[in-house]
Amino acid sequence: MSSPLFPQHVIAIKRDGAALTREEIQSMVRGATDGSWADYQLSAMLMAIFLRGMTIEETVALTDAMMRSGEVADLSRVKGPKADKHSTGGVGDKVSLHLAPMIAACGVAVPMISGRGLGHTGGTLDKLESIPGFRVNLSTDEYAAQVGRIGLALIGQTSQLAPADRKLYALRDVTGTVENTPLICASILSKKLAEGADVLVADVKFGRGAFMKDKATARELAQTLVSVARLMGTPMRAILTAMDQPLGRTVGNALEMIESIDCLQGRGPADTMEVTFVLGQEMLLLTRIAKTREEARARLEAAIANGAALKKFREMVTAQGGDVRAIDDTSRLPAAKWSVPLVSPRAGFVQSVDAMSVALAALHLGAGRAKAEDRVDHAVGVSQLVKTGERIGPGAVLAMIHANGEAALAGARALLTGGIVVGEGAVALPPLVEEIIG
Ligand code: URA
Q: What is the pLDDT of residues 240-299, one digit of tens each?
A: 999 999 999 999 999 999 999 999 999 999 999 999 999 999 999 999 999 999 999 999
pLDDT tens track for 87-97: 999 999 999 99
Quick check: CB of 188 below 6 Å from ligand 1? yes
Please state the pTM of the whole predicted model. 0.95
Nearest CA to ligand 1 atom 3: 188
Q: How far is the CA of 178 from the centre of ligand 1 (A)?
A: 8
Low-confidence stretches of the chain (pLDDT < 50) are 1
Give residue 279's pLDDT: 98
Q: How far is the CA of 266 from the centre of ligand 1 (A)?
A: 32
User: What does DSSP assign to residue 408?
Assistant: H
Give residue 116's pLDDT: 82
Domains defined for the chain, CATH in brackets: 7-53 (1.20.970.10), 83-328 (3.40.1030.10), 335-423 (3.90.1170.30)
User: What does DSSP assign to residue 347?
Assistant: -
Does the annotation mark 352 as catalytic? Answer: no
User: What does DSSP assign to residue 266?
Assistant: T
Q: Which residue among 54, 118, 169 has the greatest number of ligand 1 atoms within 8 angstroms of its CB, and so is best to mutate?
A: 169
Give residue 1's pLDDT: 46
Give residue 3's pLDDT: 60
**Residue 340 phi/psi, 5° resolution?**
-125, 130
Give residue 2's pLDDT: 56
Comparing CA positions, the residue from 52, 55, 37, 370 lying closest to residue 171 is: 37
Tell me how far apart the alpha carbons of residues 167 and 252 are, in angstroms, rounded to a whole number: 29
Q: Which residue among 87, 179, 184, 190 has the greatest number of ligand 1 atoms within 8 angstroms of its CB, and so is best to mutate?
A: 184
Helices in 68-205 by DSSP H: which ranges?
95-105, 124-128, 140-150, 163-175, 181-194
Quick check: CB of 87 below 6 Å from ligand 1? no
List of residues 6+ apart from 170 with CB closer than 8 A: none
Tell me how far apart the alpha carbons of residues 105 and 307 are, in angstroms, rounded to a whole number: 9
Nearest CA to ligand 1 atom 7: 184
Q: Which residue among 187, 192, 228 has the greatest number of ligand 1 atoms within 8 angstroms of its CB, and so is best to mutate?
A: 187
Q: How far is the CA of 88 from the centre of ligand 1 (A)?
A: 7
Nearest CA to ligand 1 atom 6: 184
